[in-house]
Amino acid sequence: MGAAGVAVGVLQVGEGLPGGGAHTLTVSAQLVQDGWDVRNSEPKTDSGFRVIALDDDTVDVLKRHRERQDADRAEWDSAWVETGLVFTQEDGSWLHPGKVTDLFERLVAASDLPPVRLHDLRHGAATLMLAAGVDVKVVSDTLGHSDTRITRDIYQSVLPEVGKSAAEATAKLVPLKRKAEAEKARKAARKAKREEKARRAARKARRAEKAKATGRKKRGRKPGKRKD
């Protein structure tokens, strides 16, 4: 069962899309490919049943897609095939996983990207989540892994960097370096204040001594004779 089968099989109208209010996607079904034939099936394991949070941008894209699908439904009228899926063919029928894979490969080739499998998008999303600091349990639940150890084993190359980022984030909560720098600045300010106070006192003392000396000179001066 590949990523294409999940991609075209799990999104159902009304599940976590605008209108229901919640920005989540409930994974409760998948398309299983046998040869070229496909059939609707439940996820292989209990952990495959999961709820995935959707960001606002994705919700907006799905909303516009639903509007286009509603227009297709109206155009096909009674010939529309109601499957309850979001991603379908123009008449509403199942979108074959093989066609999805083929379209994806053509898009990759047209974009001059290195060979990328559709399933690699799943790994890419998980890697970005971990790199963004998302808890490994959340990533594991999103992927449908039965145990976080599976996630850790697959993405162990990413986890050391995540661990470093977590350590840096934790260190920011206890900013020892900045605290030390602030204390150093405060000490420097206090020292400068003391030195300025000492300079003012010295200037005051010099002025007082000068005034005292001037007073002694005035007192010691004899009055001169007045000439008519």
Residue 225: band (very low, low, confident or very high) from pLDDT cuts 50, 70, 90: low
Check: pTM over 0.75? Answer yes or no.
Answer: no
Residue 73: band (very low, low, confident or very high) from pLDDT cuts 50, 70, 90: very high
pLDDT reading at 219 higher than 70: no
- Check residue 228 and report its DSSP letter: -
> What is the rounded distance in angstroms from the CA atom of residue 214 to the CA atom of residue 180?
51
Residue 34's DSSP bridge partners are 37
Residue 164 makes CB contacts below 8 A (sequence gap 6+) with none
pLDDT reading at 81 higher than 70: yes
**Average pLDDT across the chain, whole number:** 78
Place of tokens 């089968």: 5
The per-residue pLDDT for range 17-53, each reduced to its tens digit, is: 444 555 777 777 777 778 888 787 777 777 778 788 8
Where along the chain do its domains lie? 1-114, 119-174, 175-213
Residue 156: band (very low, low, confident or very high) from pLDDT cuts 50, 70, 90: confident
Instruction: Report which of residues 47 and 209 the model is more confident about.
Output: 209
| Residue 194, both tokens | 């003391």
The per-residue pLDDT for range 131-143, each reduced to its tens digit, is: 888 888 988 888 8
Residue 117 makes CB contacts below 8 A (sequence gap 6+) with 3
Mean pLDDT of 124-128: 85
